[in-house]
Structure 1
């Protein structure tokens, strides 16, 4: 993630990642909404609607707010998820990096990213996305037939009716998706950043955004099947499957291999923006915190002398 000269402190990684995740989640949420709706349509046996059709229908029925159904769950979860991801990755990276150069080999970078993804999948992503998926599904119903009023009441209702298992549906597929996501995304970004900083220069904001966007593109095509299976296993119709492997087998048999990449376009849009936003905000916050800490160190001796 970072150049050799900057060693991220755990709390800095956690804070910068959480803020970056919250900003990214809110900014890109409509694309996540469209992707999930497209996957629901296929799961229910309907013809797959295009992104424009979904947006038009949602705006006509529910207005702009309809595109943000379930947003609060994703933004909150995204903040925790990104915080855990960067904290885990930076901590693991420091532990396994070469002692002399401070750099990671490609296999170690992939392993660090995968482990970081497993952590975020277990502690943040599965609960938040399970709730988000249910809120989006509920939002499709007429207003007087909806079960959940929002994030807090919806979460409470799901836990009350189904127990903790209700917000941990799809744990296995989600952990695998996040492990694969982080392994690909963080390794791609780290590799690009290493190339960009090999002469000692610091990448600008536009360059950082571009590297994050490229990392997002690679991640989408490499991990889309995990995302589709995860959505199926967290939907209200998940009971038709015996488990994740049965879901995969049933989809292959009934819908063909192409269905594993359904929703690629909106997810591609989201992860291009997501990668650019989250890495740009993350790096900017870390740089700001480094400046603040540097000034604090300069002020401290002056305060001691004057006292």
Structure 2
């Protein structure tokens, strides 16, 4: 998120707006996440259409199965995106130009990557581990009665560290790439638009040569969707390995999971397995996330008189 010098977003508003955006985005896009995880774990007979995967799951296992693990992901997304936006707002201040309050492309990506480490350690790895284990269990043993029962069972079997932090390395690498590309590319686009004569910045109190409100929902959604596309293509291998490591049935460490993926499908098909599903989700998710966040910031500023 980009803020000019006269209109800084307070940490409280960043926390509340980011959490709201994360929860809305997770609920709206969960069927794509479910389909992507199932394809990464089982292949689903070579089906790459997320709507067909979702339809098959509903037909064979019922609608409730489609949302197995959704509550865990919503809670995790609220925490993840609250931490992301607060951390990124703080970290970008260290990198930004003190006069223009903008970042170079390299600085934007570096700030996003640092934010990814914070988010992975604090929230993302534990919630991704539980979500993946619950989705895997719904297809196999069906022994977990709830997210809390899942945590307790995995802790008894593997210890607390592996119960919550299995796949930490690949999740963190994914978050470094995901957050670096998503927040970084979004920040680059916003900074460019604020400097461009073709966009209107309402904070300046005057209309530029044309056309689109930089902070309006249309541009927020378009920028978020473009950032989501770049993010998905760049980080899919980390996501595929992470999913394999975090399934309910132990498959060993990161290298064991990577070898199993290559043995099953080869390098390209294996590591980019589930790309279509994840691309469908992240394009929507990027648009929903940044649009909801920026609109929530405006509402919260009015409510809190800032």
TM-score exceeds 0.5: yes
Q: How much does 1:246 deviate? A: 4.2
Q: How does 1:8-27 map to 2 (within 5 A)?
A: 8-27=9-28
Give a deviation string over 1:102-131, Cα, whole Å, max 9, x none. 111222211110010111111111100110
Task: Report what 1:207 is aligned to.
Answer: 219
C-alpha distance in structure 1 between counterparts of 2:120 and 2:154, whole Å: 19
Task: Report what 2:232 is aligned to.
Answer: 220
Task: Report what 2:291 is aligned to.
Answer: 280
Tell me the SS of whatever aligns to 1:2: coil
Task: Report what 1:2 is aligned to.
Answer: 2
Task: Report what 1:255 is aligned to.
Answer: 265
Range with bigger deviation, 128-137 or 286-295: 286-295
Task: Report what 1:105 is aligned to.
Answer: 104
C-alpha distance in structure 1 between counterparts of 2:187 and 2:167, whole Å: 29
C-alpha distance in structure 2 between counterparts of 1:208 and 1:293, whole Å: 23
Contact 1:213 1:271 in 2 (8 A): yes
One of 177, 180, 187 as aligned partner of 2:174? 177
Q: How much does 1:237 deviate? A: 4.3
Give a deviation string over 1:50-90, Cα, whole Å, max 9, x none. 33442232111332222111101111111111111111111
Contact 1:229 1:247 in 2 (8 A): yes
Give a deviation string over 1:175-205, Cα, whole Å, max 9, x none. 0000100000011111111222225344311
C-alpha distance in structure 1 between counterparts of 2:258 and 2:148, whole Å: 32
Tell me, which stretches of 5 or more residues in structure 2 are unaligned?
203-213
C-alpha distance in structure 1 between counterparts of 2:3 and 2:26, whole Å: 26
C-alpha distance in structure 2 between counterparts of 1:121 and 1:94, whole Å: 21
One of 241, 255, 280 as aligned partner of 1:245? 255
Contact 2:215 2:294 in 1 (8 A): no
Shift in alpha-carbon separation, 1:213–1:229, aligned structure 2, 3 A: same
Q: TM-score, normalised by structure 1?
A: 0.88
Q: How much does 1:249 deviate? A: 4.4
C-alpha distance in structure 2 between counterparts of 1:254 and 1:65, whole Å: 30
Q: How much does 1:248 deviate? A: 2.9
C-alpha distance in structure 1 between counterparts of 2:301 and 2:25, whole Å: 22
Contact 1:117 1:182 in 2 (8 A): yes
One of 244, 261, 274 as aligned partner of 1:232? 244
Contact 2:113 2:177 in 1 (8 A): yes
C-alpha distance in structure 2 between counterparts of 1:52 and 1:190, whole Å: 32
C-alpha distance in structure 1 between counterparts of 2:146 and 2:264, whole Å: 35
Contact 2:132 2:248 in 1 (8 A): no
C-alpha distance in structure 2 between counterparts of 1:154 and 1:245, whole Å: 25
Q: How much does 1:132 deviate? A: 0.5
C-alpha distance in structure 2 between counterparts of 1:19 and 1:62, whole Å: 31
Task: Report what 1:152 is aligned to.
Answer: 148
CA RMSD of aligned residues (A): 1.8
Shift in alpha-carbon separation, 1:93–1:32, aligned structure 2, 3 A: same
State which structure, 1 or 2, has the greater radius of gyration over its C-alpha atoms.
1
Q: TM-score, normalised by structure 2?
A: 0.88
Tell me the SS of whatever aligns to 2:8: coil
Task: Report what 2:280 is aligned to.
Answer: 269
Contact 2:84 2:116 in 1 (8 A): yes
Task: Report what 1:187 is aligned to.
Answer: 184
Tell me, which stretches of 5 or more residues in structure 1 are unaligned?
296-307
C-alpha distance in structure 1 between counterparts of 2:12 and 2:254, whole Å: 35
